[in-house]
Amino acid sequence: IPEFPETINCELFGKGSLITLIFDTEAEGGKLSFELDGVPLKSSEGIDSLTNVYSLLGSSQVFPCLCLSPLDELPPPLNSEPPKGVGEVKKKVSATGEEDEEAMAKELELKEIAALAKRARADYNVIAGLPADQRTKLRVMVDAVLKKRVPAVKLILGDVAAEAAAMAKAKAEAEAKAKAESEEKEALKAAAD
């Protein structure tokens, strides 16, 4: 599995970037703007916000909704598809009209091999040549690597500075309380001795 995709999916931001969405409900019919690491973003035309959001959405009420899209899938590598004729399983039909279970299982296995070849970005014949237990181990490895590539999202709602100050204050109060309790225990222990 390649460590990084061969193409750059997004040049604008990366791991650790803070993307801020600002929706001013009272300005210009609803004004939407974005910041990247504290710097306002502008379009190539110099536009720094989207105005009249309520009109654009055709409503006087707007409810927040966050939608994330994963990175675009890379095109499948060459030879990840099964060669012509492979994967075409001749199914036998019994007199009762039931399909052959062995043929159905083989067809499912070939589909799984093709899917694994695409996900691992490997040649179909190489994956098909692996024993079933090694394909299972490879599938687990590929899933683990791909899971690490999924971007992490942290939602920050409200006044960031005020929330940070409140969290710092709560932490300081908790530390002070723990210290006072510890001193009280030590004083009781010293009095008991």
Q: Is the pLDDT of residue 114 over 80?
A: yes
Q: Tally the residues of the chain.
A: 193
pLDDT tens-place string over residues 46-82: 888 888 888 888 887 777 666 655 555 556 666 767 7
Q: What are the angstrom distances between the C-alpha of 159 and each of 84, 164, 178?
A: 59, 9, 28
Write down the residue that tokens 């070939």 correspond to: 110
Give mean pLDDT, residues 141-168: 69
Of 105, 140, 135, the residue nearest 122 (C-alpha):
135
Closest CA to 20 of 4, 40, 43: 40
- 93 backbone dihedrals φ, ψ, rounded to 5°: -115, 130
Residue 87 in this model has a pLDDT that exceeds 70:
no
Predicted confidence at residue 69, as pLDDT, reads 58
Q: CA 87 to CA 80: how far, in whole Å?
A: 13
What's residue 89's pLDDT? 53
Between residues 116 and 161, the one the model is more confident about: 116
Count of helix runs (H) and strand runs (E) in the chain: 5, 3
Query: Over 80: is that where the pLDDT of 17 sits?
Result: no
pLDDT at 134: 92
Our measurement of the distance from residue 187's CA atom to the centroid of its chain's CA atoms, rounded to an integer in Å, reads 52
- H-helix segments, 32-159: 53-57, 101-120, 124-128, 132-148
